[in-house]
Structure 1
């Protein structure tokens, strides 16, 4: 079979079936040259094809804001050499800049750009030999309003759970905590905060620092930052307890009061890293003499007026104490 194929292409075969190596090499070199020449001629010709390009807008008025949505892409029919078109196929998300300094006024704050008038500029951005035949949409409209700015707080949207024995050891920090919003006056006026994309963490057992993007539903406004850094301090917690003396507030002059018991047990949870910081002086347990009439009994409720910020799940035992009043 191999000999038959070689004979068809005019390549002589020896009696032993061996092909002359030099002639085979020459044949394939000629074949490659022919293919290359065909490609060169074919790709040098002009072709017409449709493409979609991303659109960006430059030279917009700095003192005004757009109140209508502009297309983020443009579909074009263009003619160019095969080389240029092939190159465009390889370029993903190529962006075309629309120069807004050529806008024409239609009425009041409404302006427009007929894209047929700027096809030469567009074509030069695509390729040196590209000729734009048509653009969709064929006209861009710009509706302007006064521009406004204001600073609003950032609101974190999160779902966080912790592994067993682990808890949040400090308040969650969001940086920046505020962000500047700018755009059309009517749009900015209705914004009182900016939300983040949801931050979801399950079974956290160590501190977390994560960048979270802002939730930008409104495309007519811009933000001074596109994301915030969320820092979550997580630590292993343990339970502790200590005795705290109970003091009396609002005691009338000339009166004394005895409490039974005069100390209560305060139970709390604290991060292991802070356990050595806890002592009874950081807590203040009190009963209010003014509550005697409200309680209408022989016991007063114990309340904690002071406690360290790094403890949580604080409980007092007993919750009420008995008392004897003396004049």
Structure 2
């Protein structure tokens, strides 16, 4: 009873800790153990003091230290240090519930962060979306950042062309969706950023169609081009809010003579001009036109 009663009391004592540092320092490993120990003076229970002394538990702490707080050690490439007093709040949080800190005997902690290969790699969003009637996306899903810095062995970095996100599913959308999605981890690699912000812009649309003749451009003298067929049907979608812009719209479908001569099969996709502003999509029927050059 006497031993338990004393171990339950609180005492002012000096405690030593091995420190596991987690950080983000561009071009370097993301974690390391400090080269020297952290020495703290504070009040703790007899139980905790005994555990710390015996190394049962409580003699190792993990500190998440922002990269800007790590200062390079002069004359080295991978050695850094940070001032203990500048991370007092981080240490206090790490020891919360165990030690009431009074002072630090350690002034500075040193650590080695080995240099690490890295590349900026594009992010690929894995998503599936469906939309309510007369609703559609405005272009592709937008993300920020569009690339992330990835660290790891050069042999792994050379074999990765994109970093994928967790799968997103959107059903029967009628409005824009935004949010945050996590990146899928890759064994042996570390991402500088683990989350991506996305926006999938959705609008209500109006669909219209018109049939227009196909015209040739840049045809040299003495040449004439005949098209099969000589008309195309243009189906386009614009935002419902811009529906008034569809009135009095003049479309032109053209084929450049240079594209005809460059085509092995003399089959060319027409270019359509005169589309309304903010057009969401355009479809041609037929998509390709057979062209025949005739000498005049």
Normalised by the length of structure 2, the TM-score is 0.54
Tell me if structure 1 keeps the 8 A contact 2:180–2:197. Answer: yes
1:244 paired with 2:244, answer no
1:232 paired with 2:193, answer no
Give aligned pairs, total: 221
Alpha-carbon distance change, 176 to 159 in structure 1, aligned in 2, over 3 angstroms: same
Aligned to 2:236: 268
SS in 2 for 1:216: coil
Tell me if structure 2 keeps the 8 A contact 1:244–1:285. Answer: no
1:286 paired with 2:255, answer yes
SS in 2 for 1:202: strand
Aligned to 2:167: 198
1:127 paired with 2:98, answer yes
Output aligned runs, 1:1-327, within 5 Å. Answer: 44=5, 46=7, 57-58=20-21, 65=29, 81=46, 96-97=60-61, 125=95, 127-128=98-99, 146-218=115-187, 220-223=189-192, 225-249=193-217, 251-256=219-224, 264-278=232-246, 280-281=249-250, 283-286=252-255, 303-306=269-272, 310-312=279-281, 314-316=283-285, 327=296
Tell me if structure 2 keeps the 8 A contact 1:168–1:235. Answer: yes
> 1:184-211 deviations in whole A, cap 9, x for unaligned?
5454444432211111111111111111
Distance in 2 between residues matched to 1:304 and 1:248, nearest whole Å: 9
Tell me if structure 2 keeps the 8 A contact 1:166–1:235. Answer: yes
Alpha-carbon distance change, 81 to 154 in structure 1, aligned in 2, over 3 angstroms: same
Which shifted more, 244-253 or 225-234? 244-253
Structure 2, unaligned runs of 5 or more: 9-17, 33-43, 50-57, 64-93, 101-111
SS in 2 for 1:147: coil
1:320, distance to aligned residue in structure 2 (A): 6.1
Distance in 1 between residues matched to 2:167 and 2:59, nearest whole Å: 30
> 1:278-300 deviations in whole A, cap 9, x for unaligned?
575565343866599957xxxxx
1:159, distance to aligned residue in structure 2 (A): 1.4
Tell me if structure 2 keeps the 8 A contact 1:166–1:204. Answer: yes
Tell me if structure 2 keeps the 8 A contact 1:146–1:184. Answer: no
Tell me if structure 2 keeps the 8 A contact 1:256–1:325. Answer: yes
Larger Rg: 1
Name whichever structure is richer in helix by fraction.
1
Distance in 2 between residues matched to 1:235 and 1:67, nearest whole Å: 45
Q: What's the C-alpha RMSD, in Å, of the aligned pairs? A: 5.0
1:322, distance to aligned residue in structure 2 (A): 10
> 1:219-264 deviations in whole A, cap 9, x for unaligned?
65231x2211111111122320234342124645224467798654
Normalised by the length of structure 1, the TM-score is 0.50
